């Protein structure tokens, strides 16, 4: 049996990395998470910018983000969520496929709350340039990501 892949801009995402799917969207674990539970929600169709989504895709994407976020917040015993979209290169988007970052948040996870946006921006640039500017955050293996996705998939059974 051949594995299924999802597209994420120029990248192929193995089905083992995807933990939730809807009709028009999918949620995947992050190659370089900033915090435990940092995931991405993407439209199934490769769409570069938010404005390029259809009404149906927009609705499905945000309903998926809402559902995923609620389950992640409970699972990680978080008290809040950050939803972030970098829409276009000047906004920090480096993968040309619209996506929503979801990060379960806890008090004190960043010294200054809004530093999360700088961290997301740096992570995106590192991924694009394949540079390891942040020595503490290494790419995770497919096995590590598959294990997390298996754990998260159980939240939706």
Residues annotated catalytic, as ranges: 99
Instruction: Give the Cβ contact number of residue 85 at 10 Å.
Output: 18
Distance of alpha carbon 100 from alpha carbon 88, whole angstroms: 13
Q: Which residue has the tokens 């379960």?
A: 104
Structure tokens at 84: 């972030």
Q: Which long-range contacts (CB under 8 A, 24 or more apart) does 109-113 make?
A: 109/35
Structure tokens at 43: 């439209």
Distance of alpha carbon 155 from alpha carbon 148, whole angstroms: 12
The SS3 assignment for 131 reads coil
């Amino acid at each position: 049996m051949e594995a299924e892949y999802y597209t994420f801009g120029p990248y192929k995402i193995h089905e083992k990395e995807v933990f939730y799917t809807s009709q028009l969207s999918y949620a995947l674990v992050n190659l370089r998470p900033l915090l435990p539970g940092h995931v991405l929600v993407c439209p199934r169709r490769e769409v570069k910018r938010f404005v390029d989504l259809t009404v149906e895709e927009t609705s499905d994407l945000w309903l998926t983000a809402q559902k995923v976020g609620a389950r992640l917040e409970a699972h990680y015993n978080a008290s809040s969520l950050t939803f972030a979209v970098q829409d276009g290169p000047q906004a920090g988007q480096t993968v040309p496929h619209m996506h929503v970052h979801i990060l379960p948040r806890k008090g004190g996870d960043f010294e200054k709350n809004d530093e999360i946006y700088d961290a997301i921006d740096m992570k995106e640039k590192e991924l694009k340039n394949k540079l390891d500017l942040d020595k503490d955050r290494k790419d995770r293996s497919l096995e590590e990501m598959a294990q997390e996705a298996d754990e998260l998939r159980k939240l939706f059974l």
